[in-house]
Amino acid sequence: MSNNHTHTEGEYIPETYIPHAESHGTGSLWRTFWILLGITIVDFIIYFAFGASMARNIVFIAFGIIKAILIVGIFMHLNYEAKFLRWMIVLPAVIFLSYLVCFLLIEGNYVSLEKYF
Amino acid sequence: MSNSSTVSSTSIWTGGRSPFNVSYGKLMMWIFLLSDAFTFSSLLVGYGAIRFSYAGSTTPWPDPATVFNHFPFAHGLHLPLLFVSLMTLILIISSVTMVLAVEAGHRNSKSEVSKYMFLTILGGAAFLGCQAWEWTQFIHEGGRLDSNLFGFTEAAHEHAKHLKLFDSVHWTDADKISGPVPFASLFFIVTGFHGFHVFSGVVINIIIWINVMRGTYERRGHYEMVEKVGLYWHFVDLVWVFVFTFYYLI
């Protein structure tokens, strides 16, 4: 395979290319930790303060999504990655998950597995 | 690196550089985690569908609070959610120590990376210990892959009486055998699949930790392997957020 990368400096070999990583400090990491901890404590309080209801479930799922965004964005560093990488990871996940969840919400009504178990 | 500064953004797909500006290994780790996210979401959506199918049934889905209500050294007390919250806390803390190890790796500080890697391994082992304890409790009380003794709990019976399904029958232990089997089997499958991820994460963490202490990455000049195993470890934490939400909170 010929190497005609005339517009780059140095030699680019995909399998060994390591971009330079820089520390962003620990401030945002600890802040994320306290937010995650806080949300979990609020989860705990809501669980005992309110009875089971659809509203409570929606709050729990919303908190779960917020925690997921924080973990993926800050801890897994996706917020700081290149734009194309961000979309390549986020878009398929969002599309596939909404597809699955919509099927569950629309078709789940008709399923009764009771007779099989 | 210098590549990105010399190439204009319009030529990002013309080759000669990584359009994602990450190493090959890290890109593949991201794609693996994406596929793993699909697996776990399918499991959780399947769980939701099966649980939903028992709504209004005479053998209702057990309330997790009446099943997972134990805490070590607190026999006979009804303490729902407390133990899983502790497990969640352990996993969040081990996530923080992992990300601190990655941050120390960016500064090429070998001693700090090995310290935080060790703390992460401790956290993972603590989580696994908690899960083993919870499984032991569950199995001890009758949870099996093919049977479930928690289906018809006293609370569920009260609910059924309220619906005028059983107005004169009293709840007995014999009623306990009539619960939905998927409750127990899905518990083992979902938490077991997650627990196996934690276990493999701990094993990979130990391998990387040994490499850190032997100076492998110091000689290599970068700690990218710590970043890759960190991605995997945070993903395990991410999955637990949803297992915690759907299995214990809802």
Q: Do A88 and B20 touch (CB under 8 A)?
A: yes
Mean predicted confidence (pLDDT) in A98-104: 91
A106 touches chain B (CB under 8 A): no
pLDDT score of B62: 79
For chain B positions 92-121, those within 8 Å of chain A (CB to CB) are 92-93, 95-96, 98-100, 102-103, 105-107
pLDDT score of B27: 93
pLDDT score of A16: 79
Q: Is the dihedral of CA A18, B31, B239, B139 positive or negative?
A: negative
Q: Do A75 and B54 touch (CB under 8 A)?
A: no
Q: How confident is the model at residue B10 (pLDDT cuts 50, 70, 90)?
A: low
Q: Do B11 and A37 touch (CB under 8 A)?
A: no
Chain B contacts of A20, Cβ < 8 Å? 1
Q: How many Cβ atoms from other residues are within 10 Å of residue A106's Cβ?
A: 9
pLDDT score of A74: 94
Per-domain residue ranges for chain A?
A: 25-75, 80-106
CATH number, position B217: 1.20.120.80
pLDDT in tens, B86-143: 999 999 999 999 999 999 999 999 999 999 999 999 999 999 999 999 999 888 877 8
Is the pLDDT at B205 greater than 90? The verdict is yes
Residue B6 or residue B141, greater confidence? B141
Q: For chain B, give the mean pLDDT.
A: 84
Is the pLDDT at A111 greater than 70? The verdict is no
B85's CB contacts (< 8 A; 6+ apart) are: A40, A44
pLDDT score of B87: 95
A61 touches chain B (CB under 8 A): yes
pLDDT score of B128: 97
pLDDT in tens, A13-68: 777 788 888 888 899 999 999 999 999 999 999 999 998 889 999 999 999 999 99
Asked whether the beta carbons of A104 and B48 are under 8 A apart, the reply is: yes
Of B19, B53, B245, Cβ closest to residue A114: B53
For an interface test with A, which of B103, B147, B243 has the most A Cβ atoms less than 10 Å from its Cβ? Answer: B103
- The pair of three-digit structure tokens given for residue B93, joined into one six-digit string: 């803390």
- Is B7 domain-assigned? no
* Angstrom distance (rounded) from CA B118 to CA B123: 9
Of B27, B182, B224, Cβ closest to residue A117: B182
- CA distances to A57, B81, B158, B183 from A47, rounded to whole Å, are 10, 9, 21, 21
Asked whether the beta carbons of B131 and B195 are under 8 A apart, the reply is: yes
Q: Do B15 and A82 touch (CB under 8 A)?
A: no
Apex CA B146: angle with CA B42 and CA B244, to 5°?
A: 40
Residue B46 or residue B56, greater confidence? B46
Mean predicted confidence (pLDDT) in B20-27: 90
Residue B17 or residue B104, greater confidence? B104
- Is B4 domain-assigned? no
How many residues comprise chain B? 250
For an interface test with A, which of B13, B17, B27 has the most A Cβ atoms less than 10 Å from its Cβ? Answer: B17
- Is B13 domain-assigned? no
- Is B3 domain-assigned? no
Q: What is the largest CA-CA distance in chain B?
A: 82
pLDDT score of B200: 97
Is the pLDDT at B178 greater than 80? The verdict is no
Q: How far is the alpha carbon of A32 from chain B, nearest alpha carbon, in Å? A: 9
Q: How confident is the model at residue B166 (pLDDT cuts 50, 70, 90)?
A: very low
Q: How confident is the model at residue A4 (pLDDT cuts 50, 70, 90)?
A: very low
pLDDT score of B90: 96
pLDDT score of A43: 94
- Is B5 domain-assigned? no
Start-to-end Cα distance in chain A: 59
- Considering A2-6, A82-86, B17-21, B48-52, the range whose residues carry the highest mean pLDDT is A82-86
For an interface test with A, which of B14, B20, B42 has the most A Cβ atoms less than 10 Å from its Cβ? Answer: B20
Is the pLDDT at B75 greater than 80? The verdict is no
Mean predicted confidence (pLDDT) in A4-18: 61
- Is B18 domain-assigned? no
- Considering B2-16, B38-52, B151-165, the range whose residues carry the highest mean pLDDT is B38-52
DSSP tag of B61: P
Residue range of the domain that includes B169: 23-249
Q: How confident is the model at residue B235 (pLDDT cuts 50, 70, 90)?
A: very high
The total domain count for chain B is 1
Q: Where are the alpha helices (DSSP H) in chain A?
A: 27-49, 54-70, 83-107
